Amino acid sequence: MVVNDYPAHPQASMVAVEQGVKSLILLPITARDRMLGMLSLISVKTGHFTADRVQLLTGIADGLGIFLENAELNEQVSLELELRRRSEEQLRQQTEDLEALLGFARVAIGPGSLEEKLTSILEALRRISATNEVALRVPDPDNGSLVLVAETGDSDMTGQPKALTRGVSVKAFDLGEAVIANDYPSSPDHIADTVAKGANSMMALPVKTGHSILAIVVLISKHRYHFSPQLIARITSLGEGIGVLLENARLNHEVTFKEDLEQRRDTFVSVAFHEIRTPMAVIEGYSELLLNKTLPEHIKQESLERIHRNARSLSAIVDDMLNVSRIHSGKLTLDPKHVSLANLLAEVAASLEPIYVQHQIYIEIGAQVPPVFADVDKLSQILTNLVDNALKYSPDGGDITITATHDPKRDRVVVAIADEGLGIPPEDREGLFELFHRIRRPETAGIKGSGLGLYIVKEMLDLLNREIWVESELGKGSTFFVSLPTK
């Protein structure tokens, strides 16, 4: 439509005329007989749109039609590609989730301890969720707290509190549904220690079988708003499968545990009789010898000393066995308070030096090392067992050096007990803290022990939520490290 004298046109707008419009052209923009739009041009000159200009502008309008049609097609193609990409991503995630569940199933029915199985499942969940730490907590029927049974993740985020009576995970257990804190530091349910470890997002998911809550899976991310609706849906779906597998793993573990318990009981009784019989025989033999009143004085003195040493050894064995019994029955109680390491280590050294006269025990504590927060009796036994172990496995003598250093950034004191003894071969380090574990080598053949000392140390430190590790070199000695809190 061409209007070269717009003011004279019967449908002219007075507003447009007043603004100076003298000529007007309207060109439809079409493609494949489909109207896509309108191109309108105006001029302040009468007769502006000549035949040549109309032809040129018509060509431009046709080009715009092709351009707009291509743009529509490109948009449709882009939309289809995006939908296809999303479908492929969804299929990939579903495949990954299915593979994870199958992996969970293989783990649940496969070999290994329940803790190993749980850690394996949590690690797979951590990988799928791209979080920094995943933990599993179960309810304690005695006090209602949620107890940590397994965790995996970044070293600077693991080591969560053993038992919780508040927080996001407790809230999820009480509600029976997932709780998400995508801005965890601002959440009213946050825990300061967890925030200090870098937690910015948290999701707590109840793991159920039927209407019963077996456990709470806790996922932690260093990034705020990590848990999108899609990720929450995936984790929730996996959590339902984990519940069934955990129940199966638990039932399977109970059967294995009963069998293992019977074997441990038989071993325990065997070791008990063996370990007790030797000092009892010595005490009985030298007691009978003392009944002979014609013995020289130095023989009597030597006999009394042997009786005394073996009586102490017998008492230590009985104490170890009682502690193992308390650990297994869950009756080992704690009374933590601030303890001076200098005084405690001095008492430990004084109690052992008369027994191992061929050794020297040196204690090195920096002036800035603060007291530690621990149960004094349990800590005394832990340190006594470790120092006794260092002395025992240094049969040729040598120094025992005990150092304590303060790590103010972590509010920890690390106690190191170093010997110049036999050292521990790599293949023995993994089972070092297991019940009845003994290093079987020609050099250790004459060293007496029940295999209970380091097991008790590890169990007590686990109860205290403390760390222990060892460094060793064959023929040069070993160093055991214990990390203790200051508050």
Mark 54-85 as b/e (b = at least 16 C-beta within 10 Å).
eeebeeebeebbeebbeeeeeeeeeeeeeeee
Identify the pLDDT of residue 262.
60
Largest interatomic CA distance in the chain: 152
CB neighbour class for 386 (10 Å; exposed up to 12, middle 13-18, buried from 19):
buried
Amino acid at 9: H
Q: Is the dihedral of CA 179, 183, 188, 194 positive or negative?
A: positive
Q: Is 5 helix (H, G, I), strand (E, B) or coil?
A: coil
Q: Which residue is it, tokens 């042997």?
A: 306
Identify the pLDDT of residue 386.
85
Nearest CA among 235, 173, 181 for reference residue 208: 173
Identify the pLDDT of residue 306.
77
**The length of the chain, given as a count of residues:** 487
Which run of H or of E encompasses 31?
strand 23-31
Nearest CA among 12, 81, 69 for reference residue 46: 12
Which run of H or of E encompasses 83?
helix 51-109
* Cα angle 150-155-156, degrees, rounded to a multiple of 5: 115
Identify the pLDDT of residue 168.
93
Nearest CA among 138, 135, 208, 140 for reference residue 177: 208
* Cα angle 464-379-155, degrees, rounded to a multiple of 5: 40
Identify the pLDDT of residue 49.
92
Q: Residues near 369 by Cβ (< 8 Å), separated by ≥ 6?
A: 341, 342, 404, 405, 406, 413
pLDDT one-digit tens code per residue, 311-367: 766 666 666 666 666 655 555 666 778 888 888 888 888 888 777 778 888 888 877
Nearest CA among 460, 313, 314, 478 for reference residue 389: 478
How far is residue 20's CA from residue 28's CA, in Å, rounded to a whole number? 24
Identify the pLDDT of residue 247.
65
Given a cut of 50, the residues of the chain with pLDDT beneath it are 444-445
Phi and psi angles of residue 392, each rounded to the nearest 5 degrees, phi first: -65, -40
